[in-house]
Amino acid sequence: MKEHARECNTEIQKHESVYVVSHIDADGLTSAGIICKALQRAGINYEMRFVKQLDDNIIEDIANINPQLAIFTDLGSGMLDSINANGINAIVSDHHQPRGEGKYHLNPHLFGANGSYQLSGSGTTYILANEIGQNTDLVDIAMVGAIGDMQHLKKGQLTGVNRLLLEEGVKNGHLSYAKDITLFGKQTRPVYKLLQFSSDPFLPGLSGDEDACIGFLHDMNVRFGGDERWRRWIDLESAEKQRIISGVMQHCIKSGLQPFKVERLIGEVYVLLNEREGTEMRDASEFSTLLNATARYDRAETGLAVCMGERGKAYEDAKKLLGEHRQNLVNGLKLVKENGITQLDHIQYFNAGNKIKETIVGIIAGMSITSAGRRDKPIIAFADSDDGVKVSARGTQDLIRKGLNLSQAMSDAAGFVNGAGGGHDIAAGATIPATGRNEFLNKLDEIIGSQFQKN
């Protein structure tokens, strides 16, 4: 990959300006941050564009702009034929399953690694950035992208090329990792909030119930801080943390939670040592959520600025967006629970219409599998969008082991109704015509059924 990244850099150095195109999720934002920082340091001018999904119309638009060189990050591998057909001089730095070929195509799948869990888009772009110049300090942003892309979930920790990059970051003093509780908000939330807002795993009798969580911690003999405020997880002593972890595990087992769900309470967590303790950026999981809260609300430039080191207004704006994002996720999950999830033979789905923003419906779908749906089927979510219907699909590692490949299934089913789709085996998306929803659902159900039968 480094050798091929070197060839890509040779092409980059021929040009005075570059047109960068990236995806709008945390992995896309960190990818953009890494490449833009590398170009900036190398004295190469760039123009940045974020897209929700790369399709023929956007590619034609880029061709009409006719940039000297376009760099696609965290997308492009599924649209190589279109990029080539439109005569765009392009470097594609991506980790999604490739379709077609490109001269300057950097993708882990081409080098024997799986882009779903062994290397993220930001990790791929980090490899490219280190051929452009000395950019090893950007490894922490690459790991934020990997966590945002859920690359650690399959094995409970980062593996493959991600692991090599992580160890490099640790060696250079940019990162640390340790086994810890995996609940969200260790840097910034009062301890009871970690329990109250836990959705994966859903903690019976605790998740969603503030009073129950506070009572539980009192029973665990966890004290308030000196100013009578709850301390955060990072404020607790080791013995207190151990008490809480043991207590939560025992509570979950008594409540009948399956052992594999209880085990997910503990995992590897990743700390960015160059960031201030007690901020969202200190923890890779919190940082990725902060970024998700920007671009998904049409504020990608805010997330990009934070990725590139801006800690003033951009960070404050991002925090405000994060508050709104969290509330929207709560409201979206409530809507799904109230309206219910429709079951087909091999899939389950809900239609959010215009009630849930298309940019967050995939996140809510993932949360809904645990809290409102069934874990033995992938979940499909529909939301209205400007160019038709946005479809988001989420699976589980258990379903992957049974043969599920959502990237292939979504691509084929969307193509069947003149739409376009793709992504990863565990998470994929598509855009389809509004009139093709039922036909799409039936086809997708059939395709996924055949995937399970083949295994």
pLDDT, tens digit (0-9, with 9 covering 90-100), for 8-19: 999 999 999 999
pTM of the model: 0.84
Query: With 90 as the cut, is the pLDDT of residue 122 above it?
Result: yes
| Residue matched to tokens 């019976």 | 204
Whole-number pLDDT of residue 226: 59
pLDDT at 224: 67
Asked if residue 79 has pLDDT above 90, the reply is yes
- pLDDT tens, position by position, 359-391: 899 989 988 886 778 889 999 999 999 889 999
Residue ranges in 266-379 assigned as alpha helix (H): 284-295, 300-307, 313-339, 361-371
- The average confidence (pLDDT) of the chain is 93
Residue 225 scores a pLDDT above 90: no
pLDDT reported for residue 415: 95
Phi, psi dihedral angles at 311 (to 5 degrees):
-120, 15
CA 65 to chain centroid, in Å, comes to 30
**Residue 155's pLDDT band (cuts 50, 70, 90):** confident
Q: Tell me the residue type at 312.
A: G
Per-residue pLDDT reduced to its tens digit, 307-323: 999 999 999 999 999 88
Alpha helices by DSSP H, listed for 87-237, are: 121-132, 139-148, 160-171, 191-196, 210-219
Question: In the predicted model, what is the mean pLDDT of residues 339-347?
Answer: 96
pLDDT value at 290 more than 90: yes
pLDDT at 285: 93
Q: Average pLDDT, stretch 220-236? A: 80
In this predicted structure, what is the pLDDT of residue 228?
Answer: 62
Q: Find the mean pLDDT for residues 106-126.
A: 97
| Prior bond of 201 cis (ω within 30°) | yes
